[in-house]
């Protein structure tokens, strides 16, 4: 399963492993490795460690604080972080809105927002989806009406991940009803402390409260917080979604879960023998290994294309589809592998305040059920897989 590395790349891998061994806080690694929920403070603590080393933004240009890494070094970074139990860098600032600001924002916006994203001083959330406007994003109805040097924004966003922690939200709003729906959308940066914003949590099936509804009532947003031109936000949104869908593939995280699955399969007994000896289970495990390997290959091809300035076509949509399918297939097999210990799910097993009892079963069991539930949504967010298949049909087959 390992990609063949050059001596220089292997030296980088060893350097980064040493950094993780020395700098990754043990309590954060333990939480991440066992699937327990991390607080905002945990993420900020780790991201500040990365920033201090200059490794917070591998995908940024060097002039903005990026690393100057090759595509393979970026891949090694993701893989080693996942293997060591380092939490993922929250993507909304560094991976999603920052590239849009760099490409389409003015100098004042770059100077104002990019440094605070690097230092984790500002946390961002994404205001795209609305009730009735998810996969069909162009049908969004949140309105922004120009009033002098401000826009007055009214509407609702939903499925807004980590909005309860966010300082800023990048959002799509309708600034015109003329022409095609895509032609009247603008891209705004909204201060989450603005009067008129309310954040209401949505409890997910795994018991989490990471997503929210955000209500905007007469929220005044300075025109200077619009990225690019008015009514051209659809172009910027598509650019951002290309970055989001590539990162959703999460090959490093899938490889870490695959390693866990292989270990459980060797340990768990089925009819007196390890599950890895069961022909049907072994066949399905081998298929996932092949899927992860092919996914990794496509991720690397896409990264190299981007690094050479070549346009990326349908690859992000394919990565989004296949990456999320692999994630869901992995959780299916993980749940099957631990047998009866997969059935009970108690939020208290996340070691939340006031819970002192040890969970029943193996220590890796309690987090697998919520992981299974949580990853059901992976095929929906970032543009549903059905929509991605339509994109592929148009771009590849010309249908």
Q: Which residues are catalytic?
A: 244
> How far is 145 from 153, CA to CA, in rounded Å?
7
Q: What are phi and psi of 359, to 5 degrees?
A: -70, 155
CA dihedral sign, ordered 135, 139, 141, 144: positive
Is the Cβ–Cβ distance between 236 and 228 less than 8 Å? yes
Instruction: Return the residue matching tokens 């070094």.
Output: 73
Is the Cβ–Cβ distance between 156 and 213 less than 8 Å? yes
Helix axes 251-267, 279-307, angle to 10 degrees: 160
Question: How far, CA to CA in Å, does 154 sit from each of 46, 182, 235?
Answer: 36, 19, 22
> How far is 118 from 57, CA to CA, in rounded Å?
7
Is the Cβ–Cβ distance between 204 and 374 less than 8 Å? yes
Structure tokens at 397: 């087959």
- Within 104-149, strands assigned E span 124-127, 143-147
At residue 41's C-alpha, the angle toward residues 57 and 330, to 5°, is 70
Question: How far, CA to CA in Å, does 374 sit from each of 75, 259, 370?
Answer: 24, 20, 6
> How far is 142 from 190, CA to CA, in rounded Å?
13
Residues 6+ apart with CB under 8 A from 208: 37, 370, 374
> How far is 242 from 312, CA to CA, in rounded Å?
8
Number of CB atoms found within 10 A of residue 160's CB: 25
Structure tokens at 57: 């933004």
- Within the chain, strands assigned E span 124-127, 143-147, 150-157, 168-174, 185-191, 197-202, 211-222, 226-227, 269-270, 273-274
């Amino acid at each position: 399963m390992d990609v063949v590395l050059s001596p220089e790349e292997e030296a980088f891998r060893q350097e980064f492993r040493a950094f993780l061994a020395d700098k990754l806080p043990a309590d954060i690694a333990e939480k991440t490795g066992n699937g327990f929920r991390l607080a905002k403070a945990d993420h900020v603590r780790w991201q500040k460690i990365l920033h201090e080393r200059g490794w917070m933004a591998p995908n940024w240009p060097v002039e903005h604080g990026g690393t100057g890494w090759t595509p393979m070094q970026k891949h090694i970074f993701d893989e080693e972080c996942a293997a060591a139990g380092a939490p993922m860098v929250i993507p909304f600032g560094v991976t999603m809105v920052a590239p849009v600001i760099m490409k389409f924002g003015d100098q004042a916006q770059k100077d104002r927002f990019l440094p605070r994203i690097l230092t984790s001083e500002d946390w961002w959330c994404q205001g795209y989806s609305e009730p009735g406007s998810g996969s069909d994003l162009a049908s969004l109805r949140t309105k922004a009406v120009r009033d002098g040097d401000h826009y007055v924004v009214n509407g609702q966003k939903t499925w807004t991940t980590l909005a309860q922690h966010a300082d800023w939200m990048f959002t799509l709003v309708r600034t015109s009803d003329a022409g095609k729906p895509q032609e009247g959308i603008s891209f705004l940066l909204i201060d989450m402390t603005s009067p008129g914003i309310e954040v209401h949590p949505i409890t997910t099936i795994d018991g989490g409260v990471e997503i929210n509804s955000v209500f905007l009532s007469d929220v005044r947003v300075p025109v200077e917080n619009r990225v690019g031109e008015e009514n051209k936000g659809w172009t910027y949104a598509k650019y951002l979604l290309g970055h989001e869908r590539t990162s959703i593939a999460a090959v490093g995280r899938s490889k870490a879960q695959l390693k866990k699955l292989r270990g459980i399969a060797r340990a768990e007994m089925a009819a007196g023998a390890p599950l890895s000896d069961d022909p049907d289970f072994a066949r399905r495990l081998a298929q996932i290994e092949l899927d992860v390997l092919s996914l990794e290959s496509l991720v690397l091809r896409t990264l190299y294309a981007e690094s050479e300035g070549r346009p990326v076509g349908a690859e992000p949509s394919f990565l989004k589809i296949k990456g999320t399918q692999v994630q869901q297939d992995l959780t299916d097999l993980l749940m099957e592998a631990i047998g009866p210990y997969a059935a009970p799910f108690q939020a208290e097993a996340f070691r939340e305040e006031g819970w002192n009892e040890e969970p029943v079963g193996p220590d890796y069991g309690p987090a697998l059920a919520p992981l299974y539930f949580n990853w059901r949504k992976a095929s929906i967010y970032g543009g549903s897989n059905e929509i991605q298949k339509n994109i592929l049909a148009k771009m590849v087959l010309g249908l």
